[in-house]
């Protein structure tokens, strides 16, 4: 059977495409033990996930108990207990950020804690471990859910940091610095409605 020049060019292009596709698939599968996220370069948009985060006080996606809401809505402004697992051995410290992306003005930070030892596997209710930074309300303390109206989602995010960091000032900037320094992250979400 005789193949013309056009046929040879088409065959060559198909072979090259198949080789590139196969190489791309095996490179992705082989990076960091088959986990594409773990092979992401430092400084990528988001850290590899991997932490499992929960609260004994509420289930993921469920209502946060009144005790953990703001005083203005009948709560006590007491931080809920949190538990986590899967902290990488390279982590040097942990940080926690509680964020409400449903706030009228955009993301509202309710709690920022840094300097939590990497060996910890959780915080008890009302815990004061680590360094608490000012949230969006300006106070360096846990601020419970306090939406003006509707249902809001509160993201309790735990970050494993590869090295200790110094953050201060604007809570949104502090959150960005924490995210940038994270080598793993995980979260649980609670809701509160007014």
Mean pLDDT over each residue of the chain, to the nearest integer: 81
The residue among 158 and 129 whose pLDDT is bigger is: 158
Q: Cα–Cα distances in Å, from 32 out to 12, 136, 183? A: 32, 37, 14
d(C-alpha 103, C-alpha 145), whole Å? 10
Structure tokens at 119: 């060996």
Structure tokens at 3: 């193949």
DSSP E strands: which ranges in the chain? 52-54, 82-85, 93-100, 108-117, 122-123, 131-133, 151-161, 182-193
Work out the angle at residue 74's Cα, subtended by the Cα atoms of residues 72 and 75, and round it to the nearest 5 degrees. 95
The label of the residue with tokens 């706030």 reads 103
- Which residues are CB-neighbours of 50 under 8 A, at least 6 positions away? 37, 38, 86, 88, 160, 184, 185, 186
Indicate if the pLDDT at residue 176 is higher than 50: yes
Indicate if the pLDDT at residue 59 is higher than 80: yes
Q: State the average pLDDT over residues 165-190.
A: 93
d(C-alpha 84, C-alpha 55), whole Å? 9
């Amino acid at each position: 059977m005789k193949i013309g020049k056009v046929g040879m060019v088409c065959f060559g292009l198909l072979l090259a495409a198949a080789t590139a596709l196969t190489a791309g698939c095996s490179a992705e599968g082989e990076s960091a033990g088959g986990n594409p996220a773990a092979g992401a370069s430092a400084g990528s948009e988001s850290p590899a996930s991997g932490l499992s985060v929960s609260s004994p006080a509420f289930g993921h996606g469920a209502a946060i108990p009144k005790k953990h809401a703001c005083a203005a809505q009948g709560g006590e402004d007491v931080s809920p207990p949190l538990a986590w697992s899967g902290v990488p051995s390279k982590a040097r410290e942990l940080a926690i950020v509680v964020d409400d992306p449903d706030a009228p003005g955009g993301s509202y930070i309710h709690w920022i804690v840094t300097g939590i030892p990497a060996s910890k596997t959780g915080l008890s209710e009302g815990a004061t471990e680590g360094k608490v930074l000012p949230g969006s309300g300006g106070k360096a303390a846990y601020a419970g859910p306090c939406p003006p109206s509707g249902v809001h989602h509160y993201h309790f995010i735990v970050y494993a940091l590869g090295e200790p960091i110094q953050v201060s000032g604007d809570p949104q900037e502090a959150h960005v610095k924490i995210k940038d320094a994270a080598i793993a992250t995980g979260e649980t979400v609670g809701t509160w409605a007014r």
